[in-house]
Amino acid sequence: MSTDCKGAPSTNYTLQELLVAAAAREIKDNEVVFVGVGIPCLGAFVAKFTHAPNVVLVVESGCIGSMPYRLMLGIGDNACNENAIAATSLWRAFSDQQRGYFDLGMLGGAQVDKYGNLNSTAIFGKGDYKHPVTRLPGSGGANDIASSAKRTLLMMNQQKRRFLDKVDYITSPGYLDGPGAREKYGYTGNGPSVIISNMAIFRFDEMTKEAYLDSVHPGVTVDDVKKEVSWDLKVSPNVKVTPPPTEEEVEIIHILDEKKIYTGKGLKELTFESYIGMLEKSYTTLKSMFPA
């Protein structure tokens, strides 16, 4: 890839691609990052291929230090092992997580509240835990990551029914009910540092532990964001406009996710043949651009 596109802002991108780029920029070089499948892993790969080449990516299945040239659809994909330092076990990955070895965990969910608590267990509606409107996949490793990582990055599409004053169920702890709660319950991790949506970026007040609006994406207004939040959202006095992704970031996203599995319509229009073709093309292109 030509180095002259590094840093040049793209003029042709989607809000989903901006979300990926914004997540990538939260990752610092030389950090150890626990990545999940979906937008989080795509953001982590973009960071690895741009400003954070020495970041150590860890996948739940136990792959440590992966540098995949292909998009992962699951934690057991062969791509997880590409150029990995080690291929160990799920038990070992989470054991190291609980020891405090991970700088950043990247998480998503169905609901998030003003204290950064995530719900990926059930949507109650007029029901309750035993009789929910929707039963969701559950925690997986998300609770462990939220409890133990030095900081967590939360990602989800923004809708009022998903950004709540209080989630229906706390699958993964943020700041629970406010200051001092994590310390009270003995969590070793420091909690969430940022929520990135397809509309805005939220950070957390150090005193109240409540999320506030820090940045709106290009073309989005503060009022637009407020309409899609269920609590009385605080707004930074210096609210910013999120920088657009660079041409390089968009190019890498397009190479890895050519069929827009994570940045578009998902698996709806994907065939086995087109998926394999995407993986082969991505592998060849990225290996030539970023040799191990």
Which of the four pLDDT bands, split at 50, 70 and 90, describes residue 108?
Answer: confident
Q: Does residue 146 register a pLDDT over 50?
A: yes
- Sheet strands side by side (includes 118-119): 118-119, 111-113, 163-164
| 280 Rama sector, left if φ>0, alpha if ψ -120 to 50, beta otherwise | alpha
Number of domains in the chain: 1
User: Which uninterrupted H or E stretch holds 249?
Assistant: helix 247-256
d(CA 243, CA 176): 31
Query: Which pair of structure tokens corresponds to residue 48?
Result: 């690895």
- Which of 9-13, 114-118, 122-126 is predicted least confidently? 9-13
Q: Which domain holds residue 146?
A: 3-289
Higher pLDDT, 241 or 96: 241
H helix count then E strand count, the chain: 8, 15
Residues 233-257: what's their mean pLDDT?
Answer: 94
Q: Tell me how far the alpha carbon of residue 221 is from its chain's centroid.
A: 23
Instruction: Give the predicted TM-score (pTM) of the model.
Output: 0.89
Mean model confidence pLDDT for the chain? 90
Q: Does residue 152 register a pLDDT over 90?
A: yes
Q: Does residue 49 register a pLDDT over 70?
A: yes
Is residue 112 helix, strand or coil? strand
Residues 277-292: what's their mean pLDDT?
Answer: 88
Q: Does residue 168 register a pLDDT over 50?
A: yes
d(CA 214, CA 195): 10
Give me the pLDDT at residue 6, please.
56
User: Which uninterrupted H or E stretch holds 164?
Assistant: strand 163-164
Which of the four pLDDT bands, split at 50, 70 and 90, describes residue 68?
Answer: confident
Smallest Cα–Cα separation from 112: which of 152, 181, 158? 158
Give me the pLDDT at residue 4, please.
36
The strand pair at 151-155 and 192-196 is best described as parallel
60 classed as catalytic: yes
d(CA 28, CA 53): 9
Of the candidates 17, 60, 247, 258, the residue annotated as catalytic is 60
Is residue 85 helix, strand or coil? coil
CATH classification at residue 190: 3.40.1080.10
**Percent with pLDDT over 90 in the chain:** 61
Give me the pLDDT at residue 105, please.
93
Give me the pLDDT at residue 97, please.
86
